[in-house]
Structure 1
Amino acid sequence: MAQTTLQVVRGETTVEVILNRPEVRNAINQTMVDELHEVCSELERDPRILILGGAGGTFASGADIAELRDRRAADALAGINTRLFVRIAELPMPVIAVLDGPALGGGAELAYAADFRIASPALRIGNPEVSLGIIAAAGANWRLRELVGEPLAKEILLAGRVLTADEALAARLVTEIHPPSELPGAARALADRILRGDPAALRATKRVFAAGRSEHPRIDLEEQAVLFDSPSKVALMTAFLDRKQS
């Protein structure tokens, strides 16, 4: 379907998506949510790495306040952004968020749902929701603690701290910083490094990593059992042994 809020470039191993509402700093509205769900459906059917960025020197300034102001209790319980971000986090193959400029509120929560975050020096990332009379209910209140630890998460969520790129790197919230012009190439290079792994093993690792503590070690062993019987495992290990002997 035609996308009105996204630019999408499809490749054999990656899908690159640019949030494209630069006139409102890529604020996440209902149309963008719906179009990102369409991308998720595609990637669930045909797993590839998702590279997610923003147009105009902004990743995403947050949820669209004009829409958010008019939402009521039923909309909150529907989890409009929450369900999308969970779906993105659960995509079969890794997700790389490319963060140039502001990533605030819902934009930050979208970034937290990714497996990897790389940034430009212009990054500013945080969650100012309490200043607007709401909470960061689309993942920040639990993902951020896992990503940066409780003390820093509380500074961001309760005291409105917005991290610079260097601060985000020091907290390991982002793993690389590059000039804006080099970010697309850096994202593709990261995707290439990921793709050196076997696709089935990558997908299994994502599932196991996301599992709850009570599911281990059962889920680890079940996923490993499937991989142990795969032709790919035998071929890769045979090739490794052949190289070692040559």
Structure 2
Amino acid sequence: MGGWGQAVSLDIEERGDRLVVTLNRPEKRNAIDAEMVSALHDVCARLEREPRLLLLTGGSEGIFAAGADIAQLRERGRLDALAAINSAIFARIRALPLPTVAAIDGPALGGGAELTYACDLRVCTERAVFGQPEVRLGILAGAGATHRLPALVGEARAKELLFTGRRVNAEEALRIGLVNRTVADPADLLGTAHGLLDEIAKASGLALRLTKLAVDAPPGAHPQLDLVSQAVLFEDEEKRRRVTDFLDRKGR
């Protein structure tokens, strides 16, 4: 893993413009435990210092993440809830400087689903399943689903899913906007996700960062944030080069 220590709950591959992070607790169906949360914080710290694209996947075992580790969850009390163990890392992933893509094969349930919502885009196989079963365990989906899911699929549909714990298959997920793309063959999942990132990587890095900030900003930040961001980009040398290249190609 080259400089990443002993984060055995994650496999990390470094590529030139991106990190590929694979959840690695197959014996626990990639349940999100304290060690994985800590390892994800290390990943975020690196990407905050050295911004790159992120591809997050559950590997090839037909499971993305079965949620929080239930054994650990049973022992947590109110102070653990207030510590925002999962919600803090998911918020940190959401706030990463450059776009993130989750590649989902098989179930993404509870905290596993919320981890995918924290990413900017989602690609899944036809055997992917999403669900928020928390209310059936006597808790709520407290790591982002109550506000990220309505933003993705609309308030009424999100409430239905949160109130009932009903699972959503890949076909429905694509139809309601929960995922961006689906693939029939699991062998094509990572290639499709990398292809999406390849398209994103063609853009100006600064334009991507400021676009992500603008999209994720609260409504009250607009249009002022857009104006300031555009002012910064208009003075950027990368913008001048790209526009000049475009005009040169058009004039040929």
TM superposition score category, shorter chain reference: over 0.9
Task: Give the match for residue 243 of structure 1.
Answer: 249
Aligned with 1:143 (options 148, 159, 171): 148
Instruction: Provide the rounded CA distance (Å) in 2 between the counterparts of 1:132 and 1:227.
Output: 48
Task: Give the match for residue 6 of structure 2.
Answer: 2
Q: Which blocks of at least 5 consecutive residues in structure 2 are unaligned?
A: none
How far apart are residue 123 of structure 1 and its match?
0.6
The root-mean-square deviation of aligned C-alpha atoms, in Å, is 0.7
Task: Give the match for residue 36 of structure 1.
Answer: 40
Instruction: Provide the rounded CA distance (Å) in 1 between the counterparts of 2:6 and 2:74.
Output: 28
Structure 2 counterparts to residues 77-116 of structure 1, below 5 A: 77-116=82-121
Instruction: Provide the rounded CA distance (Å) in 2 between the counterparts of 1:54 and 1:239.
Output: 39
- One-letter identity of the residue aligned with 2:44: C
Aligned residue-pair number: 246
Q: Secondary structure at the match of 1:167?
A: helix
How far apart are residue 155 of structure 1 and its match?
1.5
Instruction: Provide the rounded CA distance (Å) in 1 between the counterparts of 2:247 and 2:71.
Output: 60
How far apart are residue 85 of structure 1 and its match?
0.3
Q: Secondary structure at the match of 1:187?
A: helix
1:180-214 C-alpha deviation (Å, 9 max, x unpaired)? 11001111100001111111100110001111111
Q: Secondary structure at the match of 1:227?
A: helix
Identity %: 50
Structure 2 counterparts to residues 1-246 of structure 1, below 5 A: 1-55=5-59, 56-178=61-183, 179-246=185-252
Q: Secondary structure at the match of 1:177?
A: strand
Q: Secondary structure at the match of 2:122?
A: strand
Instruction: Provide the rounded CA distance (Å) in 1 between the counterparts of 2:157 and 2:29.
Output: 26
Instruction: Provide the rounded CA distance (Å) in 1 between the counterparts of 2:210 and 2:159.
Output: 32
How far apart are residue 159 of structure 1 and its match?
1.0
Instruction: Provide the rounded CA distance (Å) in 2 between the counterparts of 1:160 and 1:106.
Output: 13
